[in-house]
């Protein structure tokens, strides 16, 4: 097992949510900001991937997190949104091998752990409370062959739009966290 440092500025950071409305996102981010340790304003971009225009939950919404978001806050938001089947995708355009995805670990009783895989299928487990102090370091467990790479995951779930996110019409949401 070895550690890898995640430089958050080297990544484009996305959270994928299912069966959620725009109002749910605003409410959840505001609720999160009520308990957040730091105070500053962040602008999140989001893109709705279906044609649902009513107040019903959308099939999929992609949130593009700001460059300034901290390692802890980003990963903690994935846990915060877990009831919406949250999935994190971090794209590293300079070193695609270090792109990764993660999701709430389903067997964790405390609900504070993420399970993830790098593009080359290296596995990691991230305990969010511990990530406050580790400053963006992930411990690599081992390589697993029967999981999807980031590219395979994006193709399987028809999320290749992440590679060209900024070319789509997205909406902005500014929240004080």
For 62-112, the DSSP string reads EEEE-TT--HHHHHHHHHHTGGG--EEEEE-SS-GGG-EEEEE-TT-TTS-
In order along the chain (177 residues), what is the average pLDDT of each group of 10 residues?
85 90 84 68 72 59 87 92 92 92 90 92 89 79 82 84 70 64
Helix pair 71-80, 22-35: axis angle to 10 deg: 130
Q: For residue 12, what pLDDT is reported?
A: 92
Q: For residue 177, what pLDDT is reported?
A: 54
SS3 percent helix, strand, coil of the chain, rounded to 5, is 30, 35, 35
Q: For residue 22, what pLDDT is reported?
A: 81
Q: Are 157 and 151 in contact (CB under 8 A)?
A: no
Q: For residue 95, what pLDDT is reported?
A: 92
Instruction: Please tell me what DSSP assigns to residue 6.
Output: -
Q: For residue 113, what pLDDT is reported?
A: 92
Q: For residue 144, what pLDDT is reported?
A: 77
Q: For residue 40, what pLDDT is reported?
A: 63
Q: Give the Cα separation of 150 and 156 in Å (integer).
A: 10
pTM: 0.85
Task: Give me the residue label for tokens 């895989």.
Answer: 117
C-alpha distances in angstroms, 115 versus 9, 36, 51, 58, 92? 22, 23, 31, 25, 18
Q: For residue 57, what pLDDT is reported?
A: 59
């Amino acid at each position: 097992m070895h550690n890898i440092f995640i430089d958050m500025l080297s990544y484009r950071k996305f959270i994928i949510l299912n069966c959620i409305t725009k109002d749910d996102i605003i409410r959840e981010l505001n609720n999160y900001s009520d308990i957040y340790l730091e105070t500053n304003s962040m602008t999140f971009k989001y893109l709705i991937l279906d044609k649902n225009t009513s107040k019903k939950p959308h099939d999929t919404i992609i949130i593009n997190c700001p460059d300034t978001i901290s390692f802890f806050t980003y990963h903690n938001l994935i846990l915060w949104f877990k009831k919406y089947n949250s999935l994190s995708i971090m794209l590293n355009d300079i070193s695609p091998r270090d792109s990764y995805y993660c999701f709430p670990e389903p067997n964790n009783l405390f609900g504070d752990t993420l399970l993830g895989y790098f593009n080359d299928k290296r596995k990691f487990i991230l305990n969010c409370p511990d990530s406050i102090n580790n400053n963006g370091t992930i411990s690599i467990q081992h390589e697993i062959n029967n999981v999807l790479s980031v590219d395979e995951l994006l193709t399987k779930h028809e999320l290749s739009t992440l590679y060209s996110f900024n070319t789509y019409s997205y909406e902005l949401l500014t929240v004080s966290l």
